A and B are shown apart, each in its own frame.
Chain A
C-alpha cells in the first residue's frame, strides 16, 4: 500500500491572529507558521502503518508557495519517504480553495498510483474541512472522515473508527480510499535532529501547478475580513452567593 499524505503550512495554532486594517485578510507576515496539526496526525498514522508493514511507502504532498517546502522537509524528518511540492505563486496561494487542492491531488493520482490519500480533518486557518470529501467525490473513491482508529479490514479494505456528533461509528472502506484524521487518532512524534539531517537528503519533487493542468480560478471571492465582535469582560463577583444573585437577576435561577 502506498500512501499520499497531504500537509498544509498554516499560521501556528498558538498564534492569535490579527485582522489587517484594510480588511483584506489576516496578518501572516512575520508570524510563526507550522504544519497544520491535523496533518501531523495524518502523517503520523501513515508512518505507523508503514512501521506495521501495512504500507510500503509514504509520500508527503503540499500545495502552496515557496515556503511550503519547509513543511515538506518536516514531513520527511517525521518519516515520509518522499515529498511532492505542487508550487503556486504567493499571489495564487492566497486564492487557493480546497477544490483546487483536490483537483491537484486528482491529477497527481492519475500519474502515480496510491492506495490511500490521508489528510487532516480540517486546516486550522480556513476551517473548511472539505479537501478529503472533495477529492473522494472527484475520484469516486470511498471516504472515511474524522478517523480516530485505522485498522486492517480484510484484504483490500480498511476498518476505520470515526468521530461523529453523538459518539463513534465504524465503517469499512475499500481501497483505494480517502481518509481524514481527527485529533484523537494518535500523538504525533517529534522529528529528532538526526532525522532532520537525514530528511535533507530525501527526494523532494517540485511540480509547478500549471504542469498538472490545474488553474487557480476562484469561485469564492473574499469581500472583507473583519474582527469578530469583542466581548467585554464583566469583572469578578465576590463569592458564590453573589454569583447566585447575578444568575437570579438574569432569570436563570428562580427566586
Chain B
C-alpha cells in the first residue's frame, strides 16, 4: 500500500511539475550583482525535481533579474522592484514572497544559506505553517535532505512533511549553476509592504581585494598564534602570493586581530576550498565545523598535539613566525 501510494504521489507530482509545481529560489544581490551563493542555490533547487523560478526583490532588481534569467536551469524570473525594498529588509521582502506563493503555489521556497536568507526563509515559513530546514548539504529527494548538526559532528537525514518545503542550502555543498539559460522575466505579484516596522540605517562592509572567503579556491586562516593584528600581515603576504582568501579562527577575531566577518567556523563562514592553510590555529570543534570539508588541509603549528593535525593532510610543526615568511619567499 505504501508503495502504491508513493507511486501515486510521484505520478501526481510529475503531472503537476509540467503544469505548475515549481521551486522558488530567493535571489541575493547588492543591487548590481547577483551574490555567488544564489548560483549554488539554483543548482540545489534543480535537484528537487521541479521547475526553478527565481524571485529578485530590491530597489534596483531589474538589472539583476536579467543576469538571473541567463543562468542555466532558470525557467522564470519574478522581479519586484520598489524603493520600499531597498536593502531587502526581511519585514518587507516576506510579503512579496507570500504574494508570489499565493499566485504560483510553489512546492519549495529556498535560498542559499546566508545571513540574509536565515532571516527571511523562517519568517515566511511561519506564515505557511511550515517547519524550515536550514543549511541543507545533500538532497535525496524532493522531501528528504541531510544537514549537519552539533557543529557538523553529526549528519542528520530528515524527511520533511511540511506543506511547503522551506530550505536554505549550504553554498559549498553544491556547484554554482553556469550561464546558458533563457528564463522568462516577469513582474512579481505585489505584496502588502509595510514600512513603519523597520528602517535600514547603514552598513559598514569590509573592503578587500582578495577573493571572497566563501568561494575562494584557496583559503589561509590565522589564529591566536599570530599574537597581534599587525602580524596578520604575514598571512596577507602569503595569501597574495597564492591568490587566496583570508579567514580567521574565533580566537583571532575575539582578540581583535581581524573583523568578525572573517571568522571561519560553526557560527561564522563555512568554507570548502581546494586548499585550506591553517596557521597558528589549534583546531577547536567549532573551527573544524567551518573548514573540514576542504579538499586539502595544511596546518602550521608549533604544538604537535594540536587537534588541527588530526585533520590535516600535511602538517608542519614549526614556529609560524619563521615558517610563514619562508613559505612566502619559496613561492613563485
- CB contacts under 8 Å to A, within B17-68, are none
Task: Specify the chain A residue showing the minimal Cβ separation from B198.
Answer: A142
Asked if B204 and A121 make an inter-chain contact with CB atoms under 8 angstroms apart, the answer reads: no
Give B201-255 interface residues, CB cut-off 8 Å to A: 201-206, 214, 218, 242, 250, 253
- B267, A16: Cβ atoms under 8 Å? no
A219 contacts the other chain (Cβ, under 8 Å)?
A: yes
In the complex, A197 has a CB within 8 A of chain B: no
A125 lies within 8 A of chain B by Cβ: yes
Interface residues of A in 1-37 (CB under 8 A from B): 11, 13-14, 16-17, 19, 26
Determine the distance from Cα of A132 to Cα of B91 in the docked complex, in whole angstroms: 13
How large, as a class, is the contact surface on chain B? 35 or more
Residues on B with beta carbons closer than 8 Å to the beta carbon of A163: 115, 260-261
Where chain B touches its partner, the secondary structure class is mixed
Task: Give CA–CA (A253, B323) in the complex, Å.
Answer: 17
Question: Is the CB of B193 closer than 8 A to any CB of chain A?
Answer: no
CA distance A239 to B319 in the complex (A): 11
> A170 and B266: CB pair below 8 A?
no
Q: Are B162 and A159 in contact (CB under 8 A)?
A: no
- In the complex, which of the residues B127, B261, B267 contacts A122, with contact meaning CB atoms closer than 8 Å? B267
A237 contacts B315, C-beta separation under 8 Å: yes
Q: Count the A residues whose beta carbon is within 8 Å of the partner chain — how many?
A: 80
Which of B126, B160, B260, B316 is the one whose CB lies under 8 Å from A184?
B260
Report Cα–Cα, A135/B317, bound state, in Å.
49
- Chain A residues with Cβ under 8 A from B323's Cβ? 240
Q: Is A227 an interface residue (CB 8 A)?
A: yes
CB-CB under 8 A for A127 and B150, given A224-B157, A227-B155: yes
Give, as a whole number of angstroms, the nearest-CB distance from B170 to chain A: 11
Given contact pairs A142-B91, A252-B218, A234 touches B158 in the complex (Cβ within 8 A): no
Chain B, residues 141-157, CB within 8 Å of chain A (1/0): the string is 00010011111111111
Contact A127/B149 with A97-B131, A143-B90 known, Cβ cut-off 8 Å: yes
Partner of A239, one of B89, B153, B261, B318: B318
CA–CA, A165 and B204, complex, Å: 11
Q: Are B161 and A220 in contact (CB under 8 A)?
A: yes
B292 with A167: CB separation less than 8 A = no
A253 to chain B, nearest CB (A): 6
Q: A133-B120, A183-B250 are in contact. Are A169 and B202 (CB under 8 A)?
A: yes
Q: Mark B308-332, 1 if CB is under 8 A from A, else 0.
A: 0111111111100001001100111
List residues of B (269-327) whose CB comes within 8 Å of A's CBs: 269, 274-275, 285-286, 292, 296-298, 304, 309-318, 323, 326-327
Q: Please determine whether B199 and A167 come into contact, CB atoms closer than 8 angstroms.
A: no
B201 and A170: CB pair below 8 A? yes
CB atoms of B286 and A243 under 8 A apart: no
Asked if A138 meets B198 with Cβ closer than 8 Å, knowing A19-B154, A233-B315, the reply is: no
Using a CB–CB cutoff of 8 Å, the interface residues on chain B facing chain A are: 87, 89-91, 94, 114-116, 118-127, 129-135, 144, 147-162, 196-206, 214, 218, 242, 250, 253, 259-261, 266-267, 269, 274-275, 285-286, 292, 296-298, 304, 309-318, 323, 326-327, 330-332
